[in-house]
Amino acid sequence: MRPSVILGVTGGIAAYKACELLRLFTESGHAVRVVPTASALRFVGAPTWAALSGQPVADEVWADVHEVPHVALGRHADLVVVAPATADLLARAAHGLADDLLTNTLLTATCPVVFAPAMHTEMWQHPATVANVATLRDRGAIVIEPAVGRLTGTDTGKGRLPDPAEIFAVARAVLRRGGPVPGDLAGRHVVVTAGGTREPLDPVRFLGNRSSGKQGYAFARTAVARGARVTVVAANVDLPDPAGATVVRAGTTAELRTATLTAARDADIVIMAAAPADFRPAHYRDAKIKKSEDGSAPVLELVTNPDIAAELGAGRRPGQVLVVFAAETHDALAHGRAKLDRKKADLVVINEVGPELAFGTDDNAATVLDADGKVTELGRRPKEELADAVWDLIRPLLE
């Protein structure tokens, strides 16, 4: 049976982006009913929503009264997503108002509800909106943090609707978990490192690795879907920002260290999924390194980079959970166990790397060890599903 999704659309300029979100749902096999507000229909008309969804569209409780849509839609849905969610809609939802079909649906929904706000920065930061968002989150709703970027007109700031594909990724993660209250990380601050650092040799070359950041971003998306406040420290990642996460950019291992230690000060959980370079050149060359006349290769002197995970493990506060990664080519279990002890971590996620394994792929397989010696095998699966499985192991550690 196809999952049933209600897509609520409110009257913001970002309403046109919901068309892309609707397409992602329908093309992946979801049955979608679009419930726009009257204001939303001033931006995108009902025929567009009906054509894209293959379902009738109504915005008021008086349409098809015999089917009692204001009750039936919310009761029968597997997920409700409101994108964009304006400040007005968040206020009405937080205060339990029911003056149109969408707010009636929200009041009768027994499934998870995801709000993707979009508004000007001042509206997002207004104390009324802050209080309304807190109320909705306290009730178990997932309210995705807006993105930072270009807003209406010439304004730029926080309040932009996240990329539709990233909203879809969060919605998919919520659907995968199911249940009326999926936010088991609500109120928690999660820090995730992702990608691979680069250590410059000269103006055109660097020492680096093949890490794409996909697994780290999967941890970020699934943490957002479970209600967490998420900070991603991204090292040379060429992927769209995960919806709802604050992304801090880093290039070198030194930059990754500074950003991670800063973000981790108030973090409940730190996921060290990035691949920092273990070594860096002892000397940076201001000019491009040239071949010698006899064709011999230059000799590079390397020095050891700081061990960020070990520094976190040695200095973390009581109750903070630390998860490290071990990407190995051989003797993976032994190396992973040694890393778990050396970093003073709670869990180590071990995966073997190689052609079509781990780096750059959309799926992954891992073995997870905890500090008590328990071994959990996670067979090959999409990276977001693997991240969710690891979150299930982390959650009891927070008790």
Q: How large is the average pLDDT for residues 349-360?
A: 73
Residue 70 clears pLDDT 60, i.e. is over it:
no
Mean pLDDT along residues 225-234: 96
Confidence of residue 66 (pLDDT cuts 50, 70, 90): very low
Locate 95 and state its tokens: 């205060």
| Strand, helix or coil for residue 101 | helix
Q: What percent of the chain has pLDDT over 70?
A: 94
Neighbours of 263 (CB within 10 A): 20
d(CA 228, CA 183): 8
β-sheet bridge partners, residue 55:
none
Compute and round to an integer the Cα radius of gyration of the chain: 23
Residue 60 has pLDDT above 70, yes or no: no
Give which of 153, 22, 6 is closest to 78, Cα–Cα. 6
pLDDT surpassing 80 at residue 374:
yes
Say whether 364 is catalytic.
no
Structural domains present in the chain: 4-177 (3.40.50.1950), 189-398 (3.40.50.10300)
Nearest alpha-carbon partner for 259 in 184, 168, 167, 195: 195
Q: What six digits make up the tokens of 186? A: 């609500």
Residue 71: other Cβ atoms inside 10 A: 14
Residue 318 has pLDDT above 70, yes or no: yes
Average pLDDT, the chain: 90
Q: Cα 119 from chain centroid?
A: 20
Q: Which residues pair with 158 in a beta bridge?
A: 148
Task: For residues 24-52, give the mean pLDDT.
Answer: 95
The answer to whether the CB of 70 falls within 8 A of the CB of 40 is: no
Give residue 65's pLDDT.
Answer: 46
Cα(300)–Cα(2) distance, integer angstroms: 58
Q: What is the pTM of this model?
A: 0.88
pLDDT grade, residue 68 (50/70/90)? very low
Backbone angles phi, psi at 238, to 5 degrees: -110, 65
What pLDDT, on the 0 to 100 scale, is given for residue 294? 80
pLDDT given at position 63: 55
The average pLDDT across 28-51 equals 95
pLDDT band of residue 61 (cuts 50, 70, 90) is: low
Marked catalytic residue, from 104, 209, 351, 364: 209
**Which distant-in-sequence residues (6+ apart) come within 8 Å of 355 by Cβ?**
none
Q: At what angle do helices 87-94 and 127-138 cross, to 10 degrees?
A: 50
Q: Which of 139, 152, 149 is nearest to 113 (CA)?
A: 139
> Three-state SS across 241-271?
CCCCEEEEEECCHHHHHHHHHHHHHHCCEEE
pLDDT band at 72 (very low <50, low <70, confident <90, very high): low
